[in-house]
Structure 1
Amino acid sequence: MSGFSEEVHTYWQSQMIQGSIIHLDEVFTLVSNPSLKEMYKVMILEMTNKHTMAVATPCVVEDLKLKELEEYTVEVFREAISSCKIELHTPDYIYYLPNNRIIPAKPIQDSITFRPLSEEHDVEVFRAFEAKCSEEDLDGAYVSLKHWVVYGAFDGEELIGASSAYLWNGTRLADLGVIIGEDYRDRSIATRLVQAICMDIIDKGYVPQYRCQTDNTASVALAEAVGFSLFGEWEVILAKE
Structure 2
Amino acid sequence: MSLFSPMITDFWQATFLSGEVLCRNGKFTLAVNPGLSEDRRLMVLETADGSVMAVMTPALADRLGLHRQSGLSEPLLRGTLREAGIVLHGADYIFYFSEAAKRALGQETPAGVVRRLTAEDEAAFAGFQSSASEQDLDDAYVELDHWAVFGSLEQGRLVCAASMYPWQNARVADLGVLTLLPFRAQGHARKVVRAISRHACEQGYEPQYRCQLDNQASAALAEAAGLSLFGKWEVISPDAGE
Further displaced range: 178-187 or 5-14: 5-14
Match of 1:118 in 2: 118
Match of 1:103 in 2: 104
For residues 85 and 150 of structure 1, what CA distance do their matches in structure 2 show? 40
Does the C-alpha gap of structure 1 residues 171 and 106 become closer, same or farther in structure 2, counting only changes over 3 Å? closer
Further displaced range: 175-184 or 92-101: 92-101
TM-score (norm 1): 0.93
Match of 1:5 in 2: 5
Match of 1:210 in 2: 209
- 1:182-234 Cα offsets, whole Å, 9 max, x none, are 11001111111100111111111111001111111101110110111111111
Q: CA deviation at 1:60?
A: 0.5
The structure richer in helix per residue is 2
Q: Which amino acid aligns with 2:209?
A: Y
Match of 2:64 in 1: 64
For residues 223 and 41 of structure 1, what CA distance do their matches in structure 2 show? 28
Q: Which amino acid aligns with 1:208?
A: P
Would the aligned equivalents of 2:110 and 2:195 in 1 still touch at CA under 8 Å?
no
Q: CA deviation at 1:66?
A: 1.0
The SS at the match of 2:113 is strand
The answer as to 2:193 corresponding to 1:194 is yes
- 1:156-177 Cα offsets, whole Å, 9 max, x none, are 2211110000000111100010
The SS at the match of 1:62 is helix
Mapping 1:33-112, distance limit 5 Å: 33-99=33-99, 101=102, 103=104, 112=112
The SS at the match of 2:75 is helix
TM-score (norm 2): 0.93
Further displaced range: 166-175 or 93-102: 93-102
Q: CA deviation at 1:36?
A: 1.6
Moved over 6 A (4+): 105-109
Q: CA RMSD in A?
A: 1.9
For residues 212 and 103 of structure 2, what CA distance do their matches in structure 1 show? 22
Match of 1:174 in 2: 173
For residues 149 and 108 of structure 2, what CA distance do their matches in structure 1 show? 22
Alignment coverage as a number of residue pairs: 238
Identity %: 39
Further displaced range: 215-224 or 94-103: 94-103
